[in-house]
Amino acid sequence: QVQLQESGPGLVKPSQTLSLTCTVSGGSISTADYYWNWVRQHPEKGLEWIGYIFYSGNTYHNPSLKSRATISIDTSKNQFSLDLTSVTFADTAVYYCTRERILEWSNHFDIWGQGAPVIVSS
Positions touching other proteins (CB under 8 A) are 37, 46-49, 60, 62-64, 96, 100, 103, 105-110, 112-115
Q: What's the min distance (Å) between Cβ of 95 and other proteins?
A: 11
Exposed/middle/buried for 116, CB within 10 Å: 0-12, 13-18, 19+? buried
Bridge-based pairing state of the strands 11-12 and 116-120? parallel
For residues 56 and 107, which CB has a smaller minimum distance to other proteins in the complex? Answer: 107
Q: How far is the CB of 64 from other proteins (least distance, A)?
A: 7
- Residue 2 or 47: which CB sits closer to other proteins? 47
Nearer residue to other proteins within complex by CB, 46 or 122? 46
The span from the CA of 17 to the CA of 76, in Å, is: 24
Cβ contact 71:55 at 8 Å:
no
* Minimum distance of other proteins from residue 84's CB (angstroms): 15
CA distance 50 to 44: 18
CB of 86 to other proteins, least distance (A): 20
User: Considering beta carbons, is residue 55 or 109 the nearer one to other proteins?
Assistant: 109
Q: How far is 52 from 78, CA to CA, in rounded Å?
A: 15
